Amino acid sequence: MTLVQLRTARPPSAVVGGPLVDPQARRVRYLRVSLTDRCNYRCTYCMPEDGIDRIARADLLTLEEIATIVQVFAGMGVERVRLTGGEPMVRRGLVELVASLAALPLDVVMTTNGARLAGLAAPLRQAGLRGLTVSLDSLDPGRFAAITRRGVLAEVLAGLEAASAAGFTGIKLNTVAIRGFNDHELGALALWAWERGHVPRFIEVMPMSGGRLYVPGELLPASEIRERVALAAGAPLVADSGEGVRGLGPATYWRVASGPHAGRRVGVIAPMTENFCGSCNRLRLSAAGSLHNCLARDDAGDLRSVLRSEGAVALAARVRAVLGYKQSGHTFALDGHGGPDKAMISIGG
C-alpha cells in the first residue's frame, strides 16, 4: 500500500472535537515533525561531535505512521506541517512522504541544511513541498566547514540554486547569530539573500542539551542583530507593523525603511531576549513519535504506542491530553540554565 493509498483509506472522520486549544487559550496551527535524529552535519551549537544516543530503528515512526499522525492533526485544524530533523533529507522515502502529506489540507514545508538539496529540490517541488528554509551560518567555506564540522558550502549554494530553478520562491535562510564567529557576516548574509530573492533570518543561540553546548558570551541579542542588518542596508529597519509581523512561525519580520534595499525583509527569532511564548501556536513530533509541547521543555507524550496498540482513532484524544500539559512558556536563561536536557538534533529546532 502506498502512502497516498493509506491516507485515503483512513478519512479523518474519526477526528472530531474542534480545533486544538491549549490551557492558555493559544490555538495550535503548526506541527513540526522530526523525520530522523540523524544528520550529515555536526553543527557545534546543535550536537556534540560524537556520543549521541540514537533512536533505535524499531522505535522510529514509519513513513505511514507519520502520514497517519499528520492526517489526524490536519483534522484538528493544523494548517502547516514543517518537516525537520536531524536532517530531513537523510530520511529514505522523503519525496513519497511529501507527496502523501501534500494531499492533506495543510501546507507542507521543510527546514534543511541544504547538503542534499541540489538533487532533491525538483522532486520535492513536484511532490508538493510548498516552502523551504535552508540553514546557512556563513558564506566563507572555511567557517562554514568549521561550524558544521563536515559541511561543504558549495553544495548548499548549489542546492539553493537548484531550489530557485525548481520554482521555490521566498526561500528562508536561517543563520544562528554567534558573537565572535559570524556576527561580522550578518550584514553580508542579508545582502546576499536579498540579491537572490531569499529572506534572511537570524536566530539567537539557545541553551539546549542542558546548556552543555552553550557559551553565554556567544549570544547576540536581537537588538544587535537588527543594528547590524540596518548598518549593511544603509537604512533603519521598521517592523512590518506594530512590533513586527509574525508569520505562522516564531520569527518577527522587519523591513528596510528606505534606500536601495527599501522594502527588503529580514526575520529575527529571539527566544532569549524577546520572548514570543505568548503567541506560541506549535507542537512538535519527534522521530520516535513523542509529542512535545515545547522545544525548551523535556516533558512529552508518546503517540507511537497509542497508534500501534489502539490505532489512529485513539490519537486525537491522546493529542488533546498531551496538550493539556502545555506550559505558558520556556525558562531559558541567558547564563545557559533553564533549558531542556534534550538536544536540538533530537527534536528539530
Annotated binding site for [4Fe-4S] cluster: 39, 43, 46, 277, 280, 294
301: β partners: 291
Site string for ligand SAM, 44-83 (x = CB under 6 A): -xx-------------------------------------
Nearer to ligand SAM, 34 or 100 (CB): 34
Residues 254-293 that bind ligand SAM (CB under 6 A): none
- Residue whose C-alpha is closest to residue 204's, from 41, 42, 334: 334
Nearer to ligand SAM, 45 or 181 (CB): 45
**What span, in angstroms and rounded, lies between the C-alpha atoms of 66 and 75?**
14
Residues 199/162, Cβ–Cβ less than 8 Å: no
CA 68 from centre of chain: 21
- Residue whose C-alpha is closest to residue 126's, from 157, 156, 162: 162
| Cβ count within 10 A of residue 165 | 12
Which letter does DSSP use for residue 123 in this model?
H
Is residue 135 a contact point for ligand SAM (CB under 6 A)? yes
Residues 157-176 that bind ligand SAM (CB under 6 A): 174, 176
SS3 content of the chain, % helix, strand, coil (to 5): 35, 20, 45
**What span, in angstroms and rounded, lies between the C-alpha atoms of 164 and 178?**
28
Q: Which stretch binds ligand SF4 (CB under 6 A): 36-44, 165-173, 201-209, 299-307?
A: 36-44
Residues 219-258 that bind ligand SAM (CB under 6 A): none
Is residue 104 a contact point for ligand SF4 (CB under 6 A)? no
Q: Which residues bind ligand SF4 (CB under 6 A)?
A: 39, 41-43, 46-47, 85-87, 113, 135, 344-345
Q: Which residues bind ligand SAM (CB under 6 A)?
A: 39, 45-46, 84-85, 87, 111-113, 135, 174, 176, 203, 205-206, 208, 344, 348-349
